[in-house]
Amino acid sequence: MAFTLAPLPYDFNALEPYIDARTMEIHHDKHHAAYTNNLNAAIEGTALEGKSIEEILMHVSNHSPAVRNNGGGYYNHNLFWEIMTPSGGGEPTGDLAKDIDTRFGSFAEFKEAFSRAGTTQFGSGWAWLIVDPAGELAITNTPNQDSPVMNVSAIRGVPILCLDVWEHAYYLNYQNRRPDYISAFWNVVNWKEVNKRYKVAKSH
Ligand code: MN3
């Protein structure tokens, strides 16, 4: 069974003015679609066919660069679309809010640290909030389409929030102003979804 590209959970223009419709359309219909198709081509006829994406990425050091790049691209964007929503923004609630305060000092300090992870990722990559193997929240970043679920990542864990800082994610609207795109991102974060993923990650 090949991997399939799920439709965006909202319209292309739903995240405006923070992320523009044209960027969302190209990002999902071209970039994410290409990762999906290339992943399927890379695993076709191999022992990876039928495995879950998490299982493939957990052992990615055994596989080809095509599986690493496109498998990461497939997985990372699936999460990215889910943790954004037109009715997003604000602050997390419940245990996640409490644990962010404990771990990072305050929500403002967390935002600053996560934003820094995005701005300081040289070239293409991602910023992440993860639950590490000790069950603690941690912020990290990865190059290219690498992901904290991959066994090649220096800092590993279960991602619950991510931000794509590839130029294709913001260049049409923000050009070289990555920090402006990152500031805008906070207005569309789906904290309800992040909270849900936090609960699941903590229970494992
Ligand atoms: Mn992307």
Q: Is residue 187, in this structure, part of any structural domain at all?
A: yes
Q: Is residue 47, in this structure, part of any structural domain at all?
A: yes
Phi, psi dihedral angles at 159 (to 5 degrees): -70, 135
Annotated binding-site residue? 28: no
Measure 164 CA to ligand 1 centroid, in angstroms.
6
Annotated binding-site residue? 63: no
Measure 30 CA to ligand 1 centroid, in angstroms.
10
Measure 108 CA to ligand 1 centroid, in angstroms.
26
The CATH number assigned to the domain holding 93 equals 3.55.40.20
Measure 103 CA to ligand 1 centroid, in angstroms.
28
pLDDT tens for each residue of 35-61: 999 999 999 999 999 999 999 999 999
- Distance CA(187)–CA(40), nearest Å, equals 34
When divided into structural domains, the chain yields a total of 1
Q: Is residue 195, in this structure, part of any structural domain at all?
A: yes
- Distance CA(29)–CA(145), nearest Å, equals 17
pTM: 0.97
- Distance CA(125)–CA(147), nearest Å, equals 9
Annotated binding-site residue? 168: yes
Domain that holds residue 119: 20-204
CA nearest neighbour of 154 among 167, 138, 136, 135: 138
pLDDT tens for each residue of 83-135: 999 999 999 999 999 999 999 999 999 999 999 999 999 999 999 999 999 99
Tokens 């660069």 map to which residue?
A: 65
Measure 77 CA to ligand 1 centroid, in angstroms.
6
Q: Is residue 11, in this structure, part of any structural domain at all?
A: no
Measure 178 CA to ligand 1 centroid, in angstroms.
14
